[in-house]
């Protein structure tokens, strides 16, 4: 897909995903003609959580059996669409279902042929199928708040310290290993997020580098949607509580324990919570999922196994707290579903442990090391200089908030336990989870604890708003129009307040490393336009890890020292087919791309720079090649970076040129 709208390349992946979702919605409506009122927030979250977890588990199975690639994804997608169109629900009734569908399809075809169609009728039908009679304001509000949160994170792009760092390159290597159907790498980390990033790059046709760079924005958007829905389900507030809570998550960085220098880093905790939060709500309110207990068990097993593939901290620490609190708090009608949920959890964690014990035995790596690697993660650190007060004070404030929420909920629960049961359980889970920080045990990673804590704080704040509204509802105006104005006015006030007190975004954290974006854009262009291993890249040493499974790599020193000799040798013998056949090492890549930085970055990102001592020798090599008649063009250029292209063989590397030269 060409970037015809000149969209920032970091947002290109999310934009393409949005286009694909809209196209899928269009096709789904044309085929099924489903009523648009069915597309509410409950429908979106339920289908989204199940589709995401099923997809992740299915991709993991493909990797296990060594058949994961773009073709396998395409075939499975086609089979899924056919399955959905035929509406096959039970395998043993396939023949009967196909017969009924065949008859129904023939009738529809005959009706279509017999009807006298006009443009007005076609437009009228499309309008009925695609345009709702009434706007679903709840869904609109949730999407708007999620976009606002994602946009807020995007503003930190210029302050990001993670991209192209050593940890980023290691993550990129893990993502690329998925192409080779390798999920059990040396770092022993659960592979769920790497699989998701790799799949994201394949379906949207963006480079793995750019997918890794922008995937964090998607996780933020998805988690924001889930948080809005969770708060809505708990508080029974469709707008006020979830909207205000989400805006705090999106803009009030001074009050939340999150590392703002790593906001764009993809976060397995967020992805895991996108599965866990819906699963917990389904446990407390099973009618939102299904009343069939076998299907309930199956769906939750998939959700928990997707969580197990993504993040073990959430699986091992957060979920058991939820189960214990739910079991002793739930009513008799719901406690059976809690048991089914626990059974699904045990099945999921059992399957994961069997897989890791087996792989650990094969690779001679004990299970204890695997657990330690996933529960105590060394590439996450706690650094909150932006907080309005010290971290202990912030935690004390949230502890007090949790106690107040619990104290306010108890009387409401006594009055109407059915209405306030789920809310009480979440309030207890929040307080119990906060107690983990007092347990001095090496298996509780406090850096991971703070990552999980922030979304739970937002839910607890939404609960607080709902409880306050319940106690003060007699003070609220009865006029609906006046009441409906309260939420947007409060949201506008919060955004203005956040902008005023988040001045550090523009003052304390100025643009530090704009060169990184240019490097990623150049690599994205190469990955999308050129065949793998048909070209080479001349770059600093960080380019070696990026080159894996993509292209050849030449270090600056080797390029300056040897390239002119190699070029002369190749040009002398390139027409001698017999010599080339006997000495294939003589052949140069069809294209060589030379990265030369203009502006020098300082600090942690000096490794991106082209060494000053080599800039002039590189320019001399390029000038000599031009004198020899080699074709040299500028492939990419911005304020901080120029990428030169040396063409050694025409129409032999770029995919468009290869297609049109057939």
SS (H, E, C) 418-446: HHHHHHHHHHHHHHHHHHHHHCCCCCCCH
Residue-level pLDDT at 609 = 87
Region 420-449 average pLDDT: 91
Residue-level pLDDT at 129 = 56
Sign of the torsion angle spanned by Cα atoms 621, 623, 625, 627: negative
Of the listed ranges 11-20, 159-168, 295-304, 524-533, the one predicted with least confidence: 159-168
Taking the C-alpha atoms of residue 391 and residue 417, their distance in angstroms, rounded to an integer, is: 35
- Contact between residue 221 and residue 149 where contact means Cβ atoms under 8 Å apart: yes
Statement: residue 344 has pLDDT above 90: yes
Statement: residue 196 has pLDDT above 70: yes
Taking the C-alpha atoms of residue 499 and residue 112, their distance in angstroms, rounded to an integer, is: 56
- Between 202 and 135, the more confident residue is 202
- Between 457 and 167, the more confident residue is 457
Taking the C-alpha atoms of residue 205 and residue 71, their distance in angstroms, rounded to an integer, is: 13
Number of Cβ within a 10 Å radius of residue 370: 22
With 0-12 / 13-18 / 19 or more C-beta atoms within 10 angstroms meaning exposed / middle / buried, residue 41 is buried
Confidence of residue 471 (pLDDT cuts 50, 70, 90): confident
Residue-level pLDDT at 119 = 59
- Between 395 and 510, the more confident residue is 395
Greatest mean pLDDT among 103-107, 183-187, 616-620: 616-620
Statement: residue 379 has pLDDT above 90: no
Cα(first)–Cα(last) distance of the chain, in Å? 22
Q: Tell how strand 631-637 and strand 552-555 pair up.
A: unpaired
Of the listed ranges 45-49, 531-535, 583-587, the one predicted with least confidence: 583-587
Of the listed ranges 272-276, 538-542, 657-661, the one predicted with least confidence: 657-661
- Contact between residue 64 and residue 352 where contact means Cβ atoms under 8 Å apart: no
CA-closest candidate to residue 234, choices 44, 428, 53, 43: 428
Statement: residue 241 has pLDDT above 80: yes
Taking the C-alpha atoms of residue 277 and residue 274, their distance in angstroms, rounded to an integer, is: 6
Describe the strand order of the beta sheet including 552-555 as a list of residue ranges: 552-555, 535-539, 591-597, 641-647, 631-637
Taking the C-alpha atoms of residue 358 and residue 371, their distance in angstroms, rounded to an integer, is: 14
pLDDT tens for 45-71 read: 999 999 999 999 999 999 999 999 888
- Between 41 and 6, the more confident residue is 41
Region 190-212 average pLDDT: 89
Q: What is the pTM of this model?
A: 0.87
Taking the C-alpha atoms of residue 375 and residue 269, their distance in angstroms, rounded to an integer, is: 12
- Dihedral of CA atoms 652, 654, 659, 662 in degrees, nearest 10, equals -10
Statement: residue 153 has pLDDT above 70: yes
- Contact between residue 220 and residue 149 where contact means Cβ atoms under 8 Å apart: yes
Region 226-247 average pLDDT: 91
Q: What percent of the chain has pLDDT over 70?
A: 80
Statement: residue 363 has pLDDT above 90: no
Which string of DSSP letters, residue by residue, matches 10-33?
A: HHHHHHHHHHHHHHHHHHHHHHH-
CA-closest candidate to residue 535, choices 571, 589, 495: 589
Looking at every residue in the chain, the average pLDDT score rounds to 83
pLDDT tens for 210-221 read: 888 889 889 999
pLDDT tens for 251-262 read: 888 888 887 766
- Non-local (6+) Cβ contacts of 453 within 8 A are 257, 398, 433, 434
Statement: residue 343 has pLDDT above 90: yes
Of the listed ranges 137-151, 501-515, 519-533, the one predicted with least confidence: 501-515
- Between 100 and 578, the more confident residue is 578
Statement: residue 455 has pLDDT above 90: yes
Taking the C-alpha atoms of residue 607 and residue 544, their distance in angstroms, rounded to an integer, is: 12
Of the listed ranges 155-164, 239-248, 346-355, 476-485, the one predicted with least confidence: 476-485
């Amino acid at each position: 897909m060409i970037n015809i709208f000149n969209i920032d390349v970091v947002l290109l992946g999310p934009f393409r995903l949005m286009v694909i979702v809209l196209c899928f919605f269009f096709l789904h409506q044309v085929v099924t003609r489903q009523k648009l009122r069915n597309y509410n927030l409950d429908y979106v979250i339920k289908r989204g959580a199940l589709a995401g977890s099923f997809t992740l588990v299915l991709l993991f199975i493909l990797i296990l059996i060594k058949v994961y690639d773009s073709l396998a994804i395409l075939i499975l997608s086609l089979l899924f669409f056919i399955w959905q169109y035929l509406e096959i629900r039970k395998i043993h009734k396939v023949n009967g279902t196909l017969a009924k569908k065949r008859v129904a399809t023939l009738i529809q075809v005959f009706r279509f042929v017999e009807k006298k169609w006009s443009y007005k009728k076609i437009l009228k039908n499309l309008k009925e199928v695609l345009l709702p009679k009434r706007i679903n304001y709840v869904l609109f509000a949730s999407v708007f708040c999620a976009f606002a949160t994602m946009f807020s994170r995007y503003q930190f792009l210029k302050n990001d310290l993670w991209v192209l760092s050593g940890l980023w390159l290691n993550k990129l290597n893990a993502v690329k290993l998925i192409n080779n159907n390798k999920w059990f790498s040396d770092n022993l980390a659960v592979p769920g997020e790497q699989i998701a990033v790799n799949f994201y790059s394949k379906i949207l046709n963006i480079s793995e580098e750019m997918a890794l760079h922008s995937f964090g924005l998607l996780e933020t958007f998805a988690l924001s949607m889930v948080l809005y829905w969770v708060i809505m389900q708990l508080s029974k507030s469709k707008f006020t509580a979830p909207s205000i809570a989400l805006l705090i998550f999106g803009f009030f960085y001074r009050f939340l324990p999150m590392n703002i220098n790593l906001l764009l880093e993809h976060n397995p905790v967020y992805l895991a919570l996108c599965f866990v939060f819906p699963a917990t709500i389904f446990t407390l309110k099973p009618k939102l999922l299904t009343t069939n207990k076998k299907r309930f068990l199956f769906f939750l097993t998939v959700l928990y196994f997707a969580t197990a593939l993504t993040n073990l901290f959430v699986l091992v620490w957060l979920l058991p707290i939820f189960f214990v609190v739910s079991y002793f708090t739930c009513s008799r009608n719901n406690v059976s579903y809690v048991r089914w949920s626990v059974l699904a959890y045990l099945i999921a964690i059992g399957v994961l442990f069997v897989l890791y014990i087996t792989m650990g035995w094969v690779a001679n790596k004990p299970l204890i090391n695997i657990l330690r690697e996933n529960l105590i993660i060394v590439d996450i650190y706690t650094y909150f200089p932006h907080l309005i007060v010290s971290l202990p004070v912030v935690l004390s404030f949230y502890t007090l908030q949790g106690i107040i929420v619990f104290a306010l909920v108890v009387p409401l629960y006594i009055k109407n336990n059915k209405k306030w049961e789920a809310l009480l359980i979440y309030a207890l889970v929040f307080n119990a989870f906060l107690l983990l920080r007092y347990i001095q045990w090496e298996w509780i990673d406090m850096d991971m604890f703070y990552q999980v804590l922030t979304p739970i704080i937002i839910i607890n704040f939404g609960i607080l708003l709902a409880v306050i509204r319940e106690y003060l509802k007699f003070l609220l105006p009865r006029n609906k129009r006046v009441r409906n104005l309260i939420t947007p006015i409060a949201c506008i006030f919060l955004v203005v307040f956040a902008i005023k007190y988040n001045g550090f975004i523009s003052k304390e954290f100025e643009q530090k490393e704009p060169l990184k974006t240019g490097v990623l854009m150049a690599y994205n262009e190469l990955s999308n336009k050129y065949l793998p291993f048909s070209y080479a890249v001349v770059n600093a040493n960080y380019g070696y890890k990026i080159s894996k499974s993509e292209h050849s790599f030449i270090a600056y020193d080797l390029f300056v020292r040897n390239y002119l000799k190699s070029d002369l040798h190749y040009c002398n013998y390139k027409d001698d087919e017999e010599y080339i056949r006997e000495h294939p090492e003589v052949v140069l890549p069809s294209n060589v791309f030379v990265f030369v930085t203009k502006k020098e970055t300082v600090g942690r990102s000096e490794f991106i720079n082209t060494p000053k001592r080599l800039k002039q020798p590189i320019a001399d090599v390029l000038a000599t090649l031009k004198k020899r008649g080699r074709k040299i063009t500028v492939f990419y250029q911005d304020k901080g970076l120029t990428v030169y292209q040396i063409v050694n063989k025409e129409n032999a590397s770029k995919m468009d040129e290869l297609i049109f030269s057939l």
